[in-house]
Amino acid sequence: MIKQATIDHLLFLAKGMTKQSYAPYSHFHVGAALLCDDDSIYTGCNIENASYGATNCAERTAVFKAVSEGYRHFKALAIAGGPEGEIDEACPPCGICRQVLSEFCDADMPIYLAKSEGYDEYTLGQLLPLTFDLLEK
């Protein structure tokens, strides 16, 4: 169970990371905060590219930062995003990010989606049922 203070902190960091977003094409600014097994936190923002397909989402930025530092399993994720960084509705992770998360996270991992007031909560399994998986976990 993730403590409420930790959830609030993850949401605070995810919202703050929208300020780092590089999104000159969509102007849709996204931030993410990922809780590691040892309670350290890695953050990320979306990083767009003139070749649109080379864009990296905030969630994958956070995952890749953490994995490249040696982490292999995560306990929770918070996401915040909106046009020009205005957080109004929840910003659910895209399909590619859901697949990447499924490589390193259990189906019951909570994902918190910031809203103008409060947040929505899902598990990864709710967002990505019937996961494609080649490894025994």
Q: Which residues are catalytic?
A: 59
Residue 26 interacts with ligand THU (CB under 6 A)? yes
Give least dist CB 58 to ligand THU, A: 4
**How many angstroms separate the CA atoms of 19 and 30, rounded?**
8
Say which amino acid occupies 26.
S
Q: Which is nearer to ligand THU, 36 or 90 (CB)?
A: 90
Give every CB contact of residue 35 below 8 A, 6+ residues apart in sequence.
2, 6, 10, 41, 74, 75, 76, 77
**# binding residues, ligand THU (CB under 6 A):** 13
Give least dist CB 9 to ligand THU, A: 20
Q: Which of 34, 57, 113, 127 binds ligand THU (CB under 6 A)?
A: 57
Chain residues 64-93 in contact with ligand THU, contact rule CB under 6 A:
93
Q: Give residue 135's Cα distance to chain centre.
A: 22
Give every CB contact of residue 112 below 8 A, 6+ residues apart in sequence.
7, 10, 11, 14, 76, 77, 78, 79, 119, 120, 121
Q: Which is nearer to ligand THU, 26 or 137 (CB)?
A: 26
- Binding interface with ligand THU (CB under 6 A): 23, 26, 28, 30, 46, 48, 55, 57-59, 93-94, 97
